[in-house]
Structure 1
């Protein structure tokens, strides 16, 4: 597929006007119109309504894919721009850190998209515990990390990938068990025995875990979601997370209750601010392109097709 056609199509979708799209691309309006016709002919379907200009259902789907493809192409061109002719350098693996379930379905979607775009680069996955919110990156143990909330560290740059409702996870014996359908409020969860984390856990992460509340009542120590759920199903602790947490950790005996008045929170892709590794840039571009397409839908529920 000719990327010029995709570029023209995406410009028309984003501008909502053939003339403005042509001006943005430094092309004539007839040239942009011809690009759209060629693309529709190649794909065998109508992509744009003409009056007013807006994408058809097929065009909506293609727009998401076009953003991903163009982002990957641009990142690849940047990568090749400075390559010398001295021969290929040794291939260094891209190390991906994932805290908990990362950014839900977006996590495997981004990793698989990168593997398709850069099949020659090995990918190493590292599961991060709660204390590694920042240190895995600053300690050079991973190159990119799916974390939450946003790190408060100038050495780290973080991009929003998903934004979701907050939940608490409690045992079936909890007084909040009856609220799993209608939801609870912050006042209801303030006295829960949330699990403890080690003292060197970043404060921004503990504030996120405890909703900024400080009841002084804490359960056993935990470093991973599995630790949390073990404490929950044995009746010793409560946990918190994003709504998608329930899809990934549906343990028997654990109930997931939405917290209606808690601010929605985001998951992030974090990288080292000073890192100029082209592979990191390519992965980041792909993840952000996918986030624009899938992020809002992840907040609504599971996306089975997103992981393929």
Structure 2
């Protein structure tokens, strides 16, 4: 089996945008060309990858997506690494960090720091847009962050996790909390300022963690103000909150770079 990376790129873009026409506009193709790319990929693999109404990956498409995303990122990393090897050293180092990794990055960086979403940090380092990246994630103490092959990583910091609760909350005086006891609580969906709710669901292997409020900013002080006002709970790194006892997770910051 030989899969054309261009077809994989088209497939991942259609899935991300949920639309053939939107993918065509982003990639600079006609909608007919996008449809042909998907048809060729499905013919090559012998399975249906996308349902059309609505546009969404099938079970086989989900499996391909798991492979396609790191494969494409690995190709981007290889291109960037080859170009870097043939180029003179940069006059300045471009550094990026995810919001919850920015404080650790600021302690080590001289000059400008770009604060962007986690996925943008990883992709930017892989493609050579950023020379160094600082990215965060929640993992078991013995596990690494799940990063694409081709990007090298080293641990910068680890912090315990706490549950941020409003004053007077019935659980605020507890010495520790179990995450699976909070599945049905009201949460603030703040993927760039707190532990993403999807990560909490994966940690306990359960649905739930219903978002009562959405916050799309990156300022943890604003997020804590929302918690204090009773808009929902949040899991954060640090010490200002009730410690999360189980599962045994830590918030880790890692430094990324190409080889």
Q: Normalising to structure 2: TM-score of the pair?
A: 0.50
Q: Which has the higher helix share?
A: 1
| Structure 1 length-normalised TM | 0.43
Structure with higher Rg: it is 1
Q: Which has the higher contact order (CA 8 A, sep 6+)?
A: 1
